Structure 1
């Protein structure tokens, strides 16, 4: 379980230096609730301060927390003591000057030389509930009395936290072996079990399949050879379990069961003392692990040690071929149609012999070494005797693998034929020149594991920062080809073993700090044994470069200041200083702005590219960040000015956009549009615009201005029509050759009136009458127009006309 190192400083009870106190200066258990009241140290007011940190708010069952304890206050002395009691869990790993009782539920001081202590607390199992920790501390004055001793005590309640969610395990490197298995070989599933929670494997299931169909008779990782048949195709599906959850199923490779060679165990001539009239039958013992195979046999006969080729194939030698005194042997081998055994020769029989021979005896058969591994040859050692005092002239061996004849007949079995876990025995018989003994068997021996060999190990780098995980790798070999190899790792910090990190790869960056030196000690591991060789790899945790990010609002235009935002950090928690800020305009350094965080708008123009570089340092290394923006165009401002003071219905109004402006550019287009409920919508372009007001209602006017960069702005205003001005009524009359014109004007507006005769301006007056003495005869047309200020009214009724005929008499 990973150890959480949390600083906890608890101050507990220190004993007095009186005779009783001298006893307690070596510590006292079970006094976590207090030190005073005359028990250890007087009845002084509790003026010491118990400082604590590191106790978790909620604990994780089985996790280990380091509790550190200190006391302040009282006399200026280094003397002190403490007591710490828990009601659940256990205490371990006492620090300097600390002892723990045998029940592992109470810790106290060993002597009174310290005012700080530490001890590890391992949280109880799941379901234990709230844990109470009683802590008492004493700050002694070191004089041998207790009048100036002060103490403090506190009880801490720690609730049980919720158990972390379990992650299902997984497996990899699943292998079904041997890849070329016969009916005498067990099939073994090997794999690497992995659980991110560190849970042990528990409850993993194995589903075996033969020829695509489930084989429910086998549930473990080993399939016995008795369940296999030649030609079968086997695979296994492994469901990993940590005892809580099943991981994803993994399917192995397919192994096809190949033919097992037939075994010829013994060959003999069926009559031990034949006469010249006896046929010689052949007796054999043979077997085949593939029960469906049909066995066939070959025979070769030897007379006085010489092969008689003409008799090959004879399963019985006829008596006609024998003579008194002949020495006959038969040699035989067996075939299953695929594989053929080695030749095996019988003992010799003598034709017509009447001498009775006592067969020799095998007294013992042993295998050396007695505890072999996969790299050891096995040697058979045979002791024998002969009642006739005959010499032993020949010894035969049959090696038995997992209960089946392996077809190997040498005295020494090469290690290349063995596999870890095989059970081997050897049968042996001896010959005295005439007769073979019976077969005798050795005790079985199991091939044991051979430790793996670590060839080399490597680490990601010899120098890393505190933000890098530290991974290691190894090259390993193992004589046990079916073993799945891994490597064990022990991590050392400043040459001190960190047992809570055993097996962790990579080492998380959260465990490291700048300035530390870590070492990884690597051993190869095959699941049973570690390698004798090891390799130690060192790595130094070096300074991390500081990190800096600079940002600028990317929507800045030429009328806004550029404000620089700098954010910096350091993975080593080092202090960071900004060493330089450098600004560039269109690629050229703007030295006047060095180290400035604001660029005034007076420096800016549309389309300019501004960039900045910020350099920071943590005292050892630097960090650089840069960014850039393009200054956007400031949009123009559209302003509508209504030039006409009074917008009378039916009369013209004048508007201008001349007050519109652009702070950094030139306006190149003015677009007007206006609409009313009675006259619809109209538009035009240009700086100025005019139009006739409707007879009632209002006109909505919109101005859109565009600058050289294409930026636009829009302004809208509404002009309300004033009631129409009264229409003048023009009359004319002749009087002695004069034409007297008169009209009405009922408005408060001061108006001027222009009088026209036949389209020619006669004059202007602000009166409502006008006299003309024409010098022409005939029909004459008079017209009146009205002006208010500098504008002429344009309504039809504001331009009345009248006609009058001037004859000779009138002219006279």
Structure 2
């Protein structure tokens, strides 16, 4: 026993010596993209390793799904890999068990579970913008599965991916507006515009060139977006040219509107009369001052009014002598000043000679503005102003006038609703106020309604799921507050993060330029001819696998094999795939919803399988092992033909009131069986009678209409009619019964040919005779009914019968039995002998069994 144990122990130790000291890196190893020394290269077939899913150039910050695959090498399915990347971050998704990543996120390798594969997937997040060239290094191994380090084969590869730096798109400007539109000498000109950039770059380095009387001013003459009043003069024409820049490229030059510096009306102070409280002995003198911003030569008119009537004799006099005044006179002076283009008229207060004057200063508009200062179509215009009064008098009345393009409007409040405005209009607000005694001067402010950029309301891609064979259509909707017709939008297509400039403006994108796995994005900006929408709308779609297409000859919706030469139903499905993928398919045939397994994958169905009224469904499931499963379903009905109803009259004699035998048995259903027969006819009383059954008996007289409706086993019905004519048939009559010694003697008359007569006593047939007389031998006396029914050709007549009721049978005949006493005795003896024999046989068998 001990020797056996020693042998076993030595054997175990020897086996352990054959186990390798290490099992290699079955759980993977990081940072070995250059290969390893732990596995030999003794495998006979060279291996190769590659990385799929990498873009030709990466977009900063984007996530890519990569797959490392090793091919060739030794036979088997086992392998491993080690990958390193110098920029970006490697990661794995939730539930991933075949790949692991180091803490730094720059190296990935297989896990223990992953060493039975030769393809591994993981994610890589591209680095931030400006990182430049990214280098991937990978080593992949094919193992022979012997648990050792020999006989394997591995390979290495390096891939470099540049950063995608999209081409810069030049910016554009719109709504270039120089305001105010009706500027005067002392007003500052202000330039405004809307800057737009397809790449959402900020404005940087835009150039503005100012023009005065069509001559460009040297750069630096005007600084910024405003022209001070010191640079302008009456009659000059000003405009600006804007050349937008995003710091990299200049866009198209856009010109502003031209503003002509118009005449500034002269300034006239409100005239006053001195002294303020004149007496009859005082001269009245008009005091006022004038000026003109344009330095125009001014002309002045003075008009004096006494008690409201112009005193023309004092026109243009500044003084009224005292000899022309008297106590109680009311004097007012009105002064008009003109610079040749515009005139201003102002009036003094009324002065009463001999009274103490209450001197009032008219109110003033201290500030005036229209908000917003650069309105768009959808903006309400709001007149904002403040007033002041030297005597702090309350403003009692405000008068507002709005002019649109110089034409007065009906609006007289501080607000103009946006519905009343339109792009390109120039709105001017004029206002003056009254303190209960005097009006202020008129003040005005002007704005121009600028273009409102359009808005992209929606952007979608059709179809929602794009396949290789699909054109990609960008569907969009725009809106424009100005109601401008929308011109060609700015459509940009990007593939895998790279702008494809050759497709700018193309819609739809033809399918021939797409491939399975492409990531396409379309962005769009609306265009109203002056400006693009501010926001850039974008939709991204991944091109899916193109689904296989099934072509099949037309299959009928209804089918019948009755009275045709059809022997089978045949189909010829043809599959095509835009990606040239192999297509797997399965054919099922269902009869009345239940699968007919013997027809699986069959393209022909023999006629024997089909039955009337059946519903057949053909289902063809097919797929290309990449896209979702497809299914073709077609339902066809096996027609149920309408049965044919036929009426056959079996009775030879059609007599009034007699039974007529009618048969529907020759009705036929070519694709089934007739299961129900419904008859209708009118009886002798005119009542409609309904009967069921294949064969019926009817009783009537005269013309009888017969209707037969037959129904097949699937519920289809057919109806036919037939009319028969009955006539008076032969009849028995004059039935007489008499009590005779031999019995009851019956006699009657008959009008027809030879016949037999059934004799019925109290409804029970007792005899049949061909004579016209019969002697009955009843065994019971008393009231008895007799009926004579003629029988012709096996047809018992009903209407042709004759009866007698409650005939008093007086003779009781002897009852004779048909069984004799001797016969009964013999039968009894035979039964007794048989019983004794059976009992004796049973006793003998029991005795034998006991022995």
Normalising by the smaller structure, the TM-score range is 0.3 to 0.5
Q: TM-score, normalised by structure 1?
A: 0.40
Larger Rg: 2
Q: TM-score, normalised by structure 2?
A: 0.38
1 or 2, which has the higher helix percentage? 2
